[in-house]
Structure 1
Amino acid sequence: MIERLIAFDTTSSKSNLALIDFAEAHLKAHGATTRRTCNAEGTKANLFATLGPARPGGVVLSGHTDVVPVEGQAWSSDPFRVTARNGRLYGRGTADMKSFLAVALALAPEMAARELAVPIHLALSYDEEVGCFGAPGLIADMAAHVPAPSVVIVGEPTMMKIATAHKGCYVYHTTVTGKEAHSAQPHLGANAIMAAADMVHLIAALQNEAQAAAPHDSPFDPPYATFNVGHITGGTAHNIIPNRCDFTWQIRPLPGDPVAEWLQRLDDHARTTVLPTLRAGAPEAAIDTRPLASVPAFRASLDGAAVALVRHLTGANATTTVSFGTEAGFFQDAGFETVVCGPGSIDQAHQPDEFIDLAQVNACVAFVRRLIEWAANRA
């Protein structure tokens, strides 16, 4: 099954419908009921499937179907054809995170063969890698039409460890519009780059504040929210006052960090300090910021049903945090007990010659089989 899923090139810029068609047909062949939610263009879809009774208290196995691009990477084998070498399976998505989905799909016949007391649900989303754009629609549809699950397990690569927290990721694009003039006559123009630099300076100051206020017991590395201005462009020539500057930036907050407060400070600074200076030379000057992606931070309840179940299934008591974002925060914000646990290592994700150890695949198979046993014997 891993070979079948890797063979679908579901790079985020492309459609995932062929994979969804395959997964849905496979699940329906084993008695699953399914629901789809699609993007506005109808070119991508989420799939939600249920095996077992239509009753509350089930468990969702959740994962994304899209993968990051392979262009510009030096692969030693075809990234969309699984290659087995030295106890590892190589291919794009083997670690992040088609192996988890493949295990769940491969064990669907075993789920169907058991008399499950509570259902096992499979949730396959689109466009996680570019901003988690599919998950909100999937979760809203699930909440509206599916008897409430008791637990969601997001199978991102944690080496089958129990991950109970991760940072969020909020991405923005800011456009500063000024007015061109000769560089010898700055009073006749409005310098968009200098205005943008003022905004960037405040972003850097927020980073310094977050670092200084880092909790001493934070489990994250680094133990504070991070800010980054990753791309900036503007201007035409050294002797022209630039009339436009664009920059893209992000915040990766800890759970509970005051993201709204930070955004308000930036907005207030733009409105009360930067814009008046710009508009002195150009009344039409503007500063516009729009969100590109919003992935909420995640922190599970250590005493909650999700952590308790995964501890039971893995036999582990220890929990960990992860540095990468997942769809877990969306499920949690919708009121579902959630945990992150899946096969493979994030260290291999997004890399050329991405791989997963067969031992991790086998551990995931054992994990899902224990879940089937648990669901069959649930009172």
Structure 2
Amino acid sequence: MTALFDPTAYPSTSVEWIKKLIAYDTTSRESNLELIHDVQAYLQQQGLETVLTHDASGRKANLFATIPAADGTRTGGIVLSGHTDVVPVDGQNWSSDPFKAEVRDDRLYGRGTCDMKGFVGVTLQLVPEMLATRLAKPIHLAYSYDEEVGCVGAPVMIDDLVRRGVQPEGCVVGEPTSMRTIVAHKGINAYRCRVHGHAAHSSLTPKGVNAIEHAARIITAIRDLADDYKSMGPYDHDFDVPFTTLQTSMIRGGIALNTVPDLCEFEFEYRNLPGVDPEPILQEIREFIDLKVLPAMRREHPDAVVELEKLASAPGLNPEEQAAITKLVRELTRDDTVRKVAYGTEAGLFQQAGIPSIICGPGNIEQAHRPDEYVELAQVEQCEQFLRALIRSQAVTA
């Protein structure tokens, strides 16, 4: 795929920017480098320095750029953060090409319009206005990879910021919130469990170790733990789902009806309230495996093994109502309602690095990841107004 736009000429509206970003298939399993390199070229044409941080394979990159303050300062200031990857469209029934955004009925349809190339497109559209403003403090642009598979890219970028001493004073993560302020979200922890049994002919079941059956016991224990959190808490009723949740989402095992399966693997996740330590949850699952499941398996065969592999984790976001960024976003959006959400974002990672963060962006989260994903054009315009007000708030006043 060739570059979709000439970096020496930027689109005249945010909608055109969003359309161009949508045309890059940056599904998390794919590389995002074409998008990143073309956006980098555009920003460099605007006279900005950019920093790329890559994944281990070199196929993906984060991009960080700074619009410096009027006096040249590049540290402090506010980060505008968005991810460049999107979820797959496999098996979904779309009314139009998901990677060719189109406007219908005052909505912009396409994969990522809502989550979250809409916000990224608006920030790129407003770069010339940021440059034209005499800023008292810098504004930073942070575009990450692999948020959709567990916030994998952002930690690489944040570690680089820490090493370079950039230390922003606040961060706005533009996930879809219908342009309302979100002050907290849950943590997310994802694991793969591999249960290794012992194969045998199904007529000789006592000579085998049925990996699927023992995996089922672990899965049931995870569900029991989920039921405990649902019935006993702790609770935070400011959240849309006010308790910690657990679920098993994928499972694979077995090769034939007449064979005792020697392998079963499944993925599970849990989403903890910000005040709930995620480690004891994992420890309880490990203890069930070590004290209940493994001894039973090894009575059947001594070589039985259960493995747990961490796939991804990202911390929850705690409310920071007294933080300057929270007060600023609440003032600009005229929104004082306390909202907390079950989905995860990169905001918790910025907060963990000492950068107070809040979530506010165009689109409704209910449209994310679905076929015919869309963002309302009114939301895009509202985001433009919000970010223009934010830029003005950072201008030199005297």
Bucket of the pairwise TM-score, normalised by the shorter protein = over 0.9
Is 1:70 aligned to residue 89 of structure 2?
Answer: yes
Residue 220 of structure 1 aligns to a residue whose secondary structure is coil
Structure 1 residue 146 displacement after superposition = 4.3
Change (3 A) 1:50 1:264: same
Structure 1 residue 345 displacement after superposition = 0.8
Change (3 A) 1:206 1:21: same
Q: 1:40 aligns with which of 56, 59, 65?
A: 56
Q: 2:68 aligns with which of 52, 58, 74?
A: 52
Contact 2:66/2:74 (<8 A) preserved = no
Q: d(CA) in 2 for partners of 1:328 and 1:236?
A: 42
Structure 1 residue 186 displacement after superposition = 4.4
Contact 1:31/1:51 (<8 A) preserved = no
Is 1:140 aligned to residue 159 of structure 2?
Answer: yes
Structure 1 residue 184 displacement after superposition = 5.4
Contact 1:58/1:149 (<8 A) preserved = yes
**Bigger mean CA offset, 251-260 vs 183-192:** 183-192
Alignment of 1:88-167 (within 5 A): 88-167=107-186
Is 1:81 aligned to residue 100 of structure 2?
Answer: yes
Write the deviation string for residues 312-335 of structure 1: whole angstroms up to 9, x where unpaired. 222222231223211111111111
Aligned to 1:337: 356
Any stretches of 5+ residues in structure 1 without a counterpart? none
Q: d(CA) in 1 for partners of 2:345 and 2:335?
A: 22
Q: TM-score, normalised by structure 2?
A: 0.90
Q: CA RMSD in A?
A: 1.8
Q: d(CA) in 1 for partners of 2:382 and 2:356?
A: 23
Change (3 A) 1:148 1:276: same
Is 1:21 aligned to residue 37 of structure 2?
Answer: yes
Is 1:218 aligned to residue 237 of structure 2?
Answer: yes
Change (3 A) 1:187 1:77: closer
Change (3 A) 1:378 1:38: farther
Q: TM-score, normalised by structure 1?
A: 0.95
Structure 1 residue 214 displacement after superposition = 2.3
Q: 2:214 aligns with which of 175, 192, 195?
A: 195
Q: Which amino acid aligns with 2:47?
A: G
Is 1:275 aligned to residue 294 of structure 2?
Answer: yes
**Bigger mean CA offset, 72-81 vs 357-366:** 72-81
Change (3 A) 1:198 1:72: closer
Residue 109 of structure 1 aligns to a residue whose secondary structure is helix
Q: d(CA) in 1 for partners of 2:341 and 2:231?
A: 22
Residue 96 of structure 1 aligns to a residue whose secondary structure is coil
Identity %: 48
Structure 1 residue 300 displacement after superposition = 2.4
Q: Which amino acid aligns with 1:132?
A: C
Change (3 A) 1:260 1:359: same
Aligned to 2:277: 258
